[in-house]
Structure 1
Amino acid sequence: MSLDTRISILVVDDDDIAIEMIQSYLTREGFLVFTASNGREAIEILEENDIQIVVTDWEMPVMNGLELCREIRCRFTDHYIYCILLTSRGRNDEIVEGMASGADDFMVKPFNPPELLARINAGIRLVGLETRDLVIFAMARLAESRDTETGQHLERVRQYSKRLAQEMARLPEFAQAIDGEFIRLIYQTSPLHDIGKVGIPDGVLLKPGKLTHDEFEIMKKHTIIGADTLDAALKKFPKAKFLRMARDIAVAHHEKWDGSGYPFGLSGMEIPLSARIVAVADVYDALTTRRIYKDAFSTDYAEQIILENSGKHFDPEVVKAFELCKDDFVQFIDQYSDEIDEPANYHATV
């Protein structure tokens, strides 16, 4: 049986005609709609189903809309449920009372369906933010538990990635591809670039010396493992752009512009833009920080390596952006230096 990935909405109203109208409209818009005739029935449905949005009338028997909103805020704390309160009441004091009960939005009857849809979509964006932050936090912590990298490595990589994206957004050819949302997403998801290392055996991941050919082949699989992990999350939240970008970064940040990278040997524009950006950020951090097999290289030397690999390892346009903001990278090194001066894992950037 396939998993239903539609957004779940609970409509609560004691008016059968209103219920039927709203349910029919929202179902056509692609939502999975549950219905209840009062707050008590609604609570039972909420206890048995994963509901993201509640649209409830104010005046109902058994348990009215205000009481339902208060109950939701008290009882359902494992995830946020967005509540829209519908009512014929429209005085300012009544609106304040409704919002104070725990409602997130307020609509005065009669209302038109497109307006309700717009308010529901606003709620989905808010709920999506919570889901995104929780997933990123959990996955990033999971990756840290399997690798000896410090948290500052992840912080520097996200800062480098964000700064590169900001600079590239100023280039005419990227004006459409890189907007404010892209910049926010790459900042949030770039720490997950090595999430797949959770599936690499300790004997390979934590080996203090050079990997053999067979060990390196095993290590390379962290890109596929990361993609599979994030694809599983995408099945649950198929509209989550942050998961899609995180997956692209995880699977492709070791691809190279000239096609000599892994896991698929992608080249040029075949490599997702987010992964091409993170590739520069990740390598720069590896060059400028100490590893068990080397001291930190100077920022001048790291810059030289990045420039020499333009058109080979790296997208020339990303390198162009790097040249424009390289001084900021140096500042990030100072700002996010490792608090504990211990060598990071040898295989941090394989």
Structure 2
Amino acid sequence: MHVLVVDDDVVSAEFLANTLIHFGYEVTVASNGREAFHLVRSGKYSMVISDWEMPEMNGPELCRQIRCRQWSGYIFFILITSYGAGHVVEGLKAGADDFLTKPFQPNELRVRLRTGERILSLQSRDVMLFTLAKLAESRDTDTGLHLERIREYCRILSEELSTWDKYRDLIDGDYVQLMYLTSPLHDIGKVGIPDSVLLKPGPLTKEEFEVMKRHVTIGGETLAAATKAHPDAKFLSMARDIAFTHHERYDGTGYPFGLQGKQIPLCGRLTALSDVYDALRSQRVYKPKFSHEKARQIILDGVGTQFDPDVVEAFLRREDDVVRIAESLDGSAADSNAQAEAAATSPEPVLV
């Protein structure tokens, strides 16, 4: 990460720059706010550390100028001051994110920088996840608001399980948020499926279904490569697990690995039920839209075979919330209930 240091005191600027270089950052030094603002406009810097008192343009004014502009990404701004709480309030009003008080310790600076890195990485994470999800959605014209509903179902189910004693140590608020963010990537591998199969206006042949099943490994392997490159990014490992395992079945007859029971990551088990429920409740080229009652019965019929019994129980406990999401994010309002009920006796469709 490239950090811009702004300080008119040569000794202070050099000490700060050397400390940052020791921590592994690239550093550029500006002697006043006006010079710094010109450098920020280059788009090279996502973190600025500025002294308060400087000629031409001081630290708070530099911060205000930065906040008044639209940038391609967020700029984390740390103000350095030797004054008290009154300056902190003024700095916050100017848009500063954090403060250092002179004289500061290098370890304190490092903590502030790590905070900035976390905030900047969250921004990058959310943008990347949204972009990848929309890429997958763009290949499949029949999904409507599928991704929006999937993430809401996953949020509801994971929130419910987080209240159970057996899951309290596994599912916290961060886990729920990651489920919400990463579940829309479950079908990212469909970008690698030929149009002749993915967009076929009718049931797939056995051979075509084998081709369609490859979306699981395409998506999983792509996200696995990203996870290997960034092993500390929890959202990538969860997205990988979801992509790989959302078509596994609790009894071990799913694909691609034939995992059984708790061998299937919890995120995959949650997404599996959410994905099937949404497919049942949506009109597709191979099936009409089913009523909630019909979809509910198919899920109950799959307890212990297709679905984790705990996830099904969570679904039943939060059934009203699930129905509310299905109705409020219904992308096929023109479908008639009569058409859905007419299919109630039809064989269970192949869901991919």
Q: TM-score, normalised by structure 1?
A: 0.82
Partner SS, residue 145 of structure 2: helix
Q: Are 1:15 and 1:37, in contact at CA under 8 Å, matched by a contact in 2?
A: no
Instruction: Report the counterpart of residue 170 of structure 1 in structure 2.
Output: 163
Q: Deviation string for 1:212-237 (max 9, x for gaps)?
A: 23322221121222234445655776
Aligned pair in 2 of structure 1 residues 52, 27: CA closer, same or farther (>3 Å)? same
Structure 2 CA distance for aligned equivalents of residues 325 and 56 of structure 1: 50
Match of 2:255 in 1: 262
Query: Could you tell me which residue of structure 2 aligns to residue 278 of structure 1?
Result: 271
- Aligned-partner Cα distance in 2 for 1:266–1:246: 17
Q: Does 1:304 align with 2:297?
A: yes
Is structure 2 residue 195 aligned with structure 1 residue 199?
no
- Per mean C-alpha deviation after superposition, the further-off stretch among 116-125 and 20-29 is 20-29
CA 1:170/1:95 → structure 2, altered by over 3 Å: closer, same or farther? closer
Contact 1:58-1:85 within 8 A present in 2 as well: yes
Q: Which stretch shifts more, 65-74 or 171-180?
A: 65-74
> 1:279, 1:314 within 8 Å by CA — same for their partners in 2?
yes
Q: 1:42 to 1:308 in 2, by over 3 A?
A: same
Residue in structure 2 matching 1:90, options 84, 87, 109: 84
Identity, % of aligned positions: 51
Per-residue deviation, 1:147: 0.5
| Distance of 2:350 and 2:251 partners within structure 1 | 22
AA at the equivalent of 1:180: G
Amino acid at match of 1:271: I
Moved more, 317-326 or 271-280: 317-326
Aligned equivalent of 1:244, options 212, 232, 237: 237
Q: Distance in 2 between matches of 1:246 and 1:65?
A: 41
SS of structure 1 residue aligned to 2:100: strand
SS of 1:221's equivalent in the other structure is: helix
C-alpha distance after superposition, 1:48-87 (max 9, x if no partner): 7854322222345676534543554466701111010112
With structure 2 as the length reference, what TM-score do the two structures score?
0.81
Shift in alpha-carbon separation, 1:84–1:196, aligned structure 2, 3 A: same
Question: Where in structure 2 are there 5+ consecutive unaligned residues?
Answer: 337-348
Aligned residue identity for 1:84: I
What is residue 3 of structure 1 aligned with on the other side?
none
Query: Residue 149 of structure 2 is aligned with which of 147, 156, 161?
Result: 156
Alignment of 1:75-86 (within 5 A): 77-86=71-80
Per the TM alignment, residue 181 of structure 1 is displaced from its structure 2 partner at its CA by 1.0
| 1:189 shift after superposition | 2.0
Q: CA deviation at 1:174?
A: 0.8
Q: Deviations over 1:273-312 (max 9, x none)?
A: 1111010111111122222222233333322322332222
User: Does 202-211 or 71-80 show the bigger shift?
Assistant: 71-80
**Which amino acid is the alignment partner of residue 125 of structure 2?**
R
Distance 1:84 1:145 in 2: 40
For 1:27 and 1:227, locate their aligned partners in 2 and report how far apart those are by CA, in whole Å: 37
Greater mean alpha carbon deviation, residues 153-162 or residues 70-79: 70-79
Find the residue that maps to 1:55 and give its secondary structure.
strand
Displacement of 1:16: 6.0
Superposed counterparts of 1:6-17, under 5 Å: 7-13=1-7
Distance change in 2, residues 1:44/1:271 (3 Å): farther
Query: Of residues 324, 329, 336 in structure 2, which corresponds to 1:331?
Result: 324
8 Å Cα contact 2:47-2:77 kept in structure 1? yes
Checking the alignment, whether the CA contact within 8 Å between 1:19 and 1:35 is kept in structure 2 is: no
**Paired residue for 2:100, among 94, 107, 114?**
107
Letter in 1 for 2:127: L
1:132 aligns with 2:125: yes
Measured on the aligned residues, the alpha-carbon RMSD in Å equals 3.2
CA distance in 2, matches of 1:271, 1:25: 46
* 8 Å contact from structure 2 (residues 250, 307) kept in 1: yes
- Bigger Cα displacement from structure 2, 216-225 vs 239-248: 239-248
The 1:236–1:67 alpha-carbon spacing in structure 2 relative to 1, beyond 3 Å, is farther
CA distance in structure 1 between the aligned counterparts of 2:273 and 2:261, rounded to whole angstroms:
14
Letter in 1 for 2:77: C
How far 1:317 moved relative to its partner?
A: 2.1
Unmatched segments (≥5 aa) in structure 1:
1-6
Are residues 342 and 51 of structure 1, via their aligned partners in 2, closer, same or farther at CA, if it must alter by over 3 Å? Answer: farther
1:185 pairs, out of 178, 203, 206, with: 178
Rounded to whole Å, the distance in 2 between the matches of 1:146 and 1:87 is 53
